[in-house]
Amino acid sequence: MADNSARGTESFAVAEKKEVKKKLRWAIVGCGGISGAHMEAIKQIPEIEVVAGCDILPERNKEFTEKWGVKDTYEKWDDLLANVKPDVVDVCTPNGVHAPAAIAASNAGCHVITEKPMSMSPAESQAMIDAAKANGKLLCTGFQYRYHPSCEMFVRAREAGDIGDIMFVKCQALRRRGIPNWGVFGQKHLQGGGPMIDIGVHVLEAAHYCMGEPTPIAASGNCWTYIGDKPSEVVSCWPNWDYKTFTVEDLAIGQIRFNTGALLQIEASFSAHIEHDVWNFQIMGTKGGFNWETATLFTDHAGTMVNCKAGFLPSVGFNTLFVEKLKNFAYGCLYGTPLRAPGESGMAVQKMLDGIYRSADIGHEVAIN
């Protein structure tokens, strides 16, 4: 099980820093866009030394070497694993490659961290967990939003008894018009889905973590495609996406039931006719509620309904959360400290995503086993 205890925002001041006695020999598999965020974060973690990269496209390997100075690159991860023998493999590929790359790395004796979502299906996630356990290695899912100060604030409040029993959670990862015009985000056979699995996963994992990671038992949902598979002349931030290969949803809505009796609703879109983009989740408990975006607790005190907004939380940039998640994994590998997002956390989220998509396909609620 994941360690859900709040760490406190002092972690953002590097209070956990330890004397570096050994560096992890780290390899990146997938040298495309997201690998750059990992490399920027790694520059702030002295425990990590990137020793190799791998991508099926030679031009990406060349760019990776030129930008980051990593000279040892390969087009096949089997060659990298055999020749470099890294301590850690960091999987930054499209979703469909997460499982085979992670399993190969575990079987080669490496610890593994993979970008979100963990894989394409619960079966793949289980195979990844099994491979890591069989080889005595760590497996981590790259969920960064659980490290956000707003999540830290809520977990502390929950542990203090300020929330009570959680009854309902509403998650939203909504773009008015934000279909990626790069990569393979519109191709279901490579990604597993659209906005639900790509951006919805972020608010879903953070909310589930804040809830204490209860067990999902059932899911219902629906998906609609009505914009992405057609040409468009509407002005947007990312125009000219490849509509001819677009096979994922524009909008997905899902609901999860948990063994605690709680319900979670999630809305995710690349394209939705709404006023503005939304990135938030709200939690309702028997004693208090919470808004993640505004870092505000809602409760009753001395006969009055009160809104308790944080007086101070550390500012967070995009890369801050990558530093925290990679640092947590590096410390787990080197010092045995608890992982905040072990493979089991990735599996729970994968089951919820899978349940929503299965329900959308057949038109009624499905069980999550």
Question: What does DSSP assign to residue 256?
Answer: E
Quick one: pLDDT at residue 7?
A: 41
Quick one: pLDDT at residue 15?
A: 40
Q: Give per-residue burial for 115-138: e unless 16+ CB within 10 Å, then b.
A: bbbbbbbbebbbbbbebbeebebb
Quick one: pLDDT at residue 18?
A: 57
* Calpha distance 186→169 (Å, rounded): 28
> pLDDT 10s per residue in the chain (369 long)?
444 444 432 333 334 455 677 899 999 999 999 999 999 999 999 999 999 999 999 999 999 999 999 999 999 999 999 999 999 999 999 999 999 999 999 999 999 999 999 999 999 999 999 999 999 999 999 999 999 999 999 999 999 999 999 999 999 999 999 999 999 999 999 999 999 999 999 999 999 999 999 999 999 999 999 999 999 999 999 999 999 999 999 999 999 999 999 999 999 999 999 999 999 999 999 999 999 999 999 999 999 999 999 999 999 988 999 999 999 999 999 999 999 999 999 999 999 999 999 999 999 999 999
Contact 198, 139 (CB under 8 A): no
9-145+321-338: which CATH topology? Answer: Rossmann fold (3.40.50)
Strand 216-224 to 278-285 pairing? unpaired
CB 176: neighbour CB atoms within 10 A?
Answer: 16
pTM score:
0.93
Single-letter code of the amino acid located at 311: G
Domain limits of the chain?
Answer: 9-145+321-338, 165-285+349-367
Superfamily of 165-285+349-367 according to CATH:
Dihydrodipicolinate Reductase; domain 2 (3.30.360.10)
Walk across the sheet containing 88-91 and list its strands. 73-74, 48-54, 24-29, 88-91, 111-115, 139-142
Rg (CA), the chain: 20
Quick one: pLDDT at residue 316?
A: 93
Contact 38, 322 (CB under 8 A): yes
Contact 31, 63 (CB under 8 A): yes
Cis ω for the linkage preceding 94 (within 30 of 0)? no
Single-letter code of the amino acid located at 131: A
CB 76: neighbour CB atoms within 10 A?
Answer: 12
Structure tokens that stand for 102 in this block: 């992670």
- H helix intervals, 76-211: 77-84, 95-107, 122-134, 149-159, 188-191, 195, 201-211
